[in-house]
Amino acid sequence: MLKRAALVVGVLLAVTAGAKPVVVGGTLASATEAPWAIALNNTQSADSSGRYCGAALVRPNKIITAAHCMDEDIATYYAVQGRANLADESVGQASAISKVWIDPRYNTKDNRYDFAVLTLAKPFTGVPVLPLETRARADRNGVVPTVYGWGDTEGTGLDDTLQKAAVPDLGDKTCLAVKSYFSNGYAAATNVCAGYLNGGIDACQGDSGGPLVLNGRLLGVVSWGQGCAQAGKPGVYAETAAVAKALAPQLAR
């Protein structure tokens, strides 16, 4: 099972549970429709665009991403906003990261509480932010959130471009019924199970930390999965409502 961070100096970040690619089977999204979608790039990325993970702007100076994305020196990360095509440096804005907070409950054994709050050295002022979903009941079978990211497309779209995909919430029982997901720590209280049982559409490598959005709120972030867009292997997202209280003081600083 793989986390869905990107490649660093040619080495895939392999772990017990992990992230998926830049939205496989998705469609192009614009920076205008998702101004809070952030590319969390890294100077050590094997990709020339710097692509590494995704994030969401939740305060002018704060972004939320996946804890498992933060495995490099803080000085190597930088956030990019307003750039749907990462190769087009004539648009958008970028900022270094001045501070990182990782949920102290996160661990690589069960991959729960996969959240990190990053403080921007230069706030992205004048940009709409994405409110947090604080209601646990928002994660329910049948709703259809949308995932955003710049990750791998596995041939279903252009590389390094912001893409989106509607991924139906399948309910916790669906992921708990997958033996490998249960053994790798999927938990109803801390995760969202979303995707298609037949596969074909999913997040992927490079999408880790990217936003899962429902009704204009951050329902979760891309966390892990088995392969990308495989039948019977939905995407696993870290659920925002489970950490909203812990995040609050970090966002207020």
For residue 8, the cross-strand partners are 11, 45
Please provide residue 110's backbone torsions phi and psi, each rounded to the nearest 5 degrees: -115, -5
E strand or H helix at 161: none
Write out the catalytic residue numbers. Answer: 68, 114, 208
CA angle 203, 82, 49 (to 5 degrees): 65
CB atoms within 10 A of CB 240: 30
- Using alpha carbons, select from 214, 220, 241 the residue that is nearest to residue 55: 220
Residue 34 and residue 55 in contact, taking contact as beta carbons nearer than 8 Å: no
Round to the nearest angstrom and report the end-to-end CA distance of the chain. Answer: 35
